[in-house]
Structure 1
Amino acid sequence: MSGPASIRARLLLGAAVLMLAFLVGAGAAVQRAHENSVRAAHYARLQSTLYLLLAAAEVDAQGRLVMPPALAEPRLSLPGSGLYASIHNLNSGGRWESASALGIEPPFRAQQPVGEWRFETVAATQPTGPRRFLSASYGVRWNGSGADTRLALSVLEDRAAFERELAVFERTLWAWLGGAALLLLLAQSLLLQGALAPLRRMAAEIRRIESGAQGELAQDYPRELAPLARNLNALIRQERVRQTRFQEALSFLAHSLKTPLAVLRTALGEPAQLPEVVGQQVDRMDDIVQHQLARARAASAAAPLVAPLALAPVLRRIEGSLAKVHGERALAFTLDCPDTLEWRMDEGDAFELLGNLMDNAAKWARTQVAVQVRRDDAGLHLAVDDDGPGFSDTQAVLQLHVRGDERVPGHGVGLAMVKTLVDAHGGTLVLGQGPLGGARVSISLPG
């Protein structure tokens, strides 16, 4: 089964269909307008011939029609010339026909109301076969020479000349329109060839990236493709960072778990201490695994294609959980974050980042924790304050398994995970003293 048609084929087919519809419609309209114009011109000539007959005709005192032996229109005197005329005397029933009608029985109109013009196409069967004629008729009342006579004048022209003129124009028109259509399709094909060149170049670059011959897409794409190129490059870099981080995490796990495993192996010789040692080392290994998984997953946090996340609901859910955990202490949480503030961040990473910050502040706080979130042209700014004792060593607490006070429950993993997530975003983390008198953790993430 063949795949979907290419963009170039679709555009060419669409352009050809639209162009064909336009040219057919335009050609039909021009052809109809030309036919009406030619018909009007022929009827005008027939009308002029009728005026010529009126000028030449005479009616005597007895009401008889008198016509000159020759008329100013030579075709009326030439048999079978294609132009035929007749005058019917409606009073006497007499009829005059031009010499051109000799041997032919044109379908002249014998009756015509006085003062009315009639233009039409009529048909008649002739010895040579069916023929069609353009017809002009006019009725007149003759009051000269003391006679009151009604005359019906009729002029016919063989339609063959009219149809030949239309056929010549039709062939010329459609030949030119067909040639114009071919030229336009050729021009459209060349334009598409140039317009789609960046897409072909991008496809070729992607194939080279897949084969390992190229690292990223070039940046010199047109405005419409530049965002796609940037996002593809971001995905490529993200995937490489993710692979690197997982490899590093596996290597770190292999190295970091050696010590707990060695301690457990040693504890096998001391059965009395085995339960306590196993519990400690299992907790330690769990913290190591969790930290390395968070570190490996942190690369996805900075992905440019992550949907914007509203941070205020995340903060309120964390506040509700911490209020239950520290319910006996009756901590007061102050959240300053606009409901409309959004940031491109994975929801799980947002809970891990903000949850660790607020949990750390709640552990150290005496009575209150304050969280402030702001966004400006530089990016996102977070500040978490508490009224506890503050940091004694701002560098050590960012290391894994290091706690500011061993009397406070915890494993020394939270702020280390926060630092990993902030680094993945390309942001900065600063520890210091806040306005509540205790610790402040300030984070800035670039926009």
Structure 2
Amino acid sequence: MRGWRNLSIRARLHWGASAVLLTFFCLAGLAVQGVYSEHLRNSHFERLHSAIYMLIAITELDAKGRLALPSSIAEPLLSVPHSGLYAQIDNPTQRELWRSPSAQSLPQLPLSSLQTGVWQHRTLRLAGRDYLSTEYQVRWNIGQQSQNLRFMVLEDTQRFAAQLAQFQRALWGWLAAAALCLLLAQVLLLRWGLWPLRRLEAELAAIENGSQKQVNGVYPREIAPLATRLNRLVEQEHARQQRYREALGDLAHSLKTPLAILRAEQDNADPIAYRQTLAEQVTRMDHIVQHQLGRAALRGQASLAPVLALKPIAERLIASMQKVHAQRNLQFALYCDDLLQWSIDEGDAFEMMGNVLDNAGKWAKTRVELHLQASRRELIITIADDGSGFVDTQAPLQRGIRLDERVAGHGIGLSVVADIVQAYQGHITLGHSALGGASVMLTIPDPR
């Protein structure tokens, strides 16, 4: 069983199609053979019918009701011993039995009960040989009287068997030749049909060894989506590696200044001032590390993300924001369909909506609203507040830019959100809300 599971697609298709093909030819051959055998048997019985009609035509009864047949018979095989065709006429009224010259060497033929005017066909076995038998009974009138005559004609099955064997040899020979040709055609068709997969495998190997950057071939529509998704995966992997490289470089560069300050303060004689500087720089380095880790951990794998129910996530975020901003007594409202789902990573969803909701909570006066709606092609997330709004709709998206130093923060929240949205090939729009404050709209297209 394990060996069958390890078979290649080509081997599975080949063996499966071959089994179906051979089964079909065997069943078709048996069906044709059965039909031909029945047809051949019926044709032989028709020949025996003709022989009986001929015997009825030449049979006469004398005045005493005894059989009177001519010395010569129109069917020459009935006059030749061991010819394979034999006849018998039974006159039970006169206890008389006539047998053709060809039947003289046969044992007495068994008689069966017959109805007048009804044909009876059967296969008899006499002296170790099989015979096709046809019997027919007629009512013969002699003046005012009538009597029954029973006609019986037998044929040796050797001729029938020889004809059937000849047909079988021809039938199975042609079927075998046709099956062989179809199996060969099947191998060629499978090779041609699976060629795009072999080409895709070669391209993936080239991507793996670095000789090409993406899948470039034109593929059938059944494989084209796979090639497209593989290209997305490769692009996302390259982007992820690039983000990690950039994050490490940015982290190293960003830590230079705090480390230089700490190094310069080592000789500070005032321990209180040194501890204050140390605390400030440690806090700053912590913020820098968190920011760079947030950038490096961007998932953005929309094409591989599972379908996620968004309302439970939004409800959890609203509950968290109410606790964070409990002292300001803000109202957080959620507008989202209960069945809304989208293909997005759960961590990305928390990061995007959480950052924007937190910013809105810092600037809002009394109310923050979260709207989620989706169409066939895109998901739209809108966060609105009744704060002072944006003076500049571009500056907040730049890293490290803070619109008001009096409000807690580091100026990186919206930039992280913008990076996540961009990873999903979406866009972020800053504007003014109907509540009188700021509005942040995140548009994420359907990755499928």
State the TM-score bracket (shorter-chain normalisation): over 0.9
Counterpart residue number, 2:85? 83
Once the two structures are TM-superposed, the CA of residue 431 in structure 1 deviates from its matched residue by 3.2
* Counterpart check, 1:382 vs 2:381: yes
Q: Which runs of 5+ in 2 are unaligned?
A: none
Counterpart residue number, 2:202? 204
* Counterpart check, 1:276 vs 2:294: no
C-alpha change, 1:426 and 1:82, in structure 2 (3 Å) is closer
Total equivalences in the alignment: 442
Counterpart residue number, 1:297? 297
Counterpart residue number, 2:244? 246
Counterpart residue number, 2:120? 118
Counterpart residue number, 1:214? 212
C-alpha change, 1:359 and 1:110, in structure 2 (3 Å) is closer
- Aligned partners of 1:16 and 1:428: how far apart in 2? 54
Quick one: which amino acid aligns to residue 206 of structure 1? L
- Aligned partners of 1:395 and 1:156: how far apart in 2? 108
Q: Which runs of 5+ in 1 are unaligned?
A: none
| Of 50-59 and 328-337, the range deviating more from structure 2 | 328-337
Counterpart residue number, 1:25? 27
Once the two structures are TM-superposed, the CA of residue 242 in structure 1 deviates from its matched residue by 0.7
| Of 98-107 and 35-44, the range deviating more from structure 2 | 98-107
Question: Deviation digits for residues 177-233 of structure 1, max 9, x if unmatched?
Answer: 111111111111121121111111111111111111111112511100000000111
* Counterpart check, 1:445 vs 2:429: no
Quick one: which amino acid aligns to residue 189 of structure 2? L
Picking from 146, 149, 158, the partner of 1:148 is 146
- Aligned partners of 1:140 and 1:393: how far apart in 2? 117
- Aligned partners of 1:65 and 1:94: how far apart in 2? 8
Tell me the secondary structure at the aligned position of residue 304 of structure 1.
coil
Tell me the secondary structure at the aligned position of residue 293 of structure 1.
helix
Tell me the secondary structure at the aligned position of residue 143 of structure 1.
strand
Quick one: which amino acid aligns to residue 97 of structure 2? R
Tell me the secondary structure at the aligned position of residue 382 of structure 1.
strand
- Aligned partners of 1:103 and 1:351: how far apart in 2? 104
C-alpha change, 1:209 and 1:59, in structure 2 (3 Å) is same
Quick one: which amino acid aligns to residue 14 of structure 2? L
Quick one: which amino acid aligns to residue 164 of structure 1? A
Matches within 5 A, 1:12-411: 12-105=14-107, 107-109=109-111, 112-125=114-127, 130-145=128-143, 147-270=145-268, 271-298=271-298, 300-376=299-375, 379-392=378-391, 394-411=393-410
- Aligned partners of 1:404 and 1:143: how far apart in 2? 129
- Aligned partners of 1:110 and 1:337: how far apart in 2? 91
- Aligned partners of 1:430 and 1:64: how far apart in 2? 119
- Aligned partners of 1:348 and 1:58: how far apart in 2? 108
C-alpha change, 1:106 and 1:166, in structure 2 (3 Å) is farther
Question: Deviation digits for residues 368-405 of structure 1, max 9, x if unmatched?
Answer: 11223343466333332222223355554444444332
| Of 370-379 and 80-89, the range deviating more from structure 2 | 370-379
Share of identical aligned residues, percent?
47
C-alpha change, 1:47 and 1:147, in structure 2 (3 Å) is same
- Aligned partners of 1:273 and 1:4: how far apart in 2? 70
Decide whether the 8 Å contact of 1:84 with 1:106 is kept in 2. Answer: no
Quick one: which amino acid aligns to residue 62 of structure 1? K
Quick one: which amino acid aligns to residue 433 of structure 1? H
C-alpha change, 1:398 and 1:111, in structure 2 (3 Å) is closer
Quick one: which amino acid aligns to residue 417 of structure 1? V
- Aligned partners of 1:117 and 1:427: how far apart in 2? 88
Decide whether the 8 Å contact of 1:235 with 1:303 is kept in 2. Answer: no
Counterpart residue number, 1:415? 414
- Aligned partners of 2:106 and 2:424: how far apart in 1? 100
- Aligned partners of 2:396 and 2:144: how far apart in 1? 133
Tell me the secondary structure at the aligned position of residue 184 of structure 2.
helix
- Aligned partners of 1:358 and 1:230: how far apart in 2? 35
Once the two structures are TM-superposed, the CA of residue 139 in structure 1 deviates from its matched residue by 2.1
The normalised TM-score by structure 2 is 0.92
Once the two structures are TM-superposed, the CA of residue 133 in structure 1 deviates from its matched residue by 0.6
| Of 386-395 and 261-270, the range deviating more from structure 2 | 386-395
Decide whether the 8 Å contact of 2:65 with 2:142 is kept in 1. Answer: no
Question: Deviation digits for residues 53-73 of structure 1, max 9, x if unmatched?
Answer: 112112222222111111211
Quick one: which amino acid aligns to residue 99 of structure 2? E
- Aligned partners of 2:146 and 2:231: how far apart in 1? 100
Once the two structures are TM-superposed, the CA of residue 331 in structure 1 deviates from its matched residue by 1.1
Measured on the aligned residues, the alpha-carbon RMSD in Å equals 2.2
Once the two structures are TM-superposed, the CA of residue 143 in structure 1 deviates from its matched residue by 2.2
C-alpha change, 1:372 and 1:96, in structure 2 (3 Å) is same
C-alpha change, 1:404 and 1:159, in structure 2 (3 Å) is same
Tell me the secondary structure at the aligned position of residue 301 of structure 1.
coil
- Aligned partners of 1:341 and 1:249: how far apart in 2? 34
Question: Deviation digits for residues 137-169 of structure 1, max 9, x if unmatched?
Answer: 122332214553332221111110111111111
- Aligned partners of 1:110 and 1:232: how far apart in 2? 81
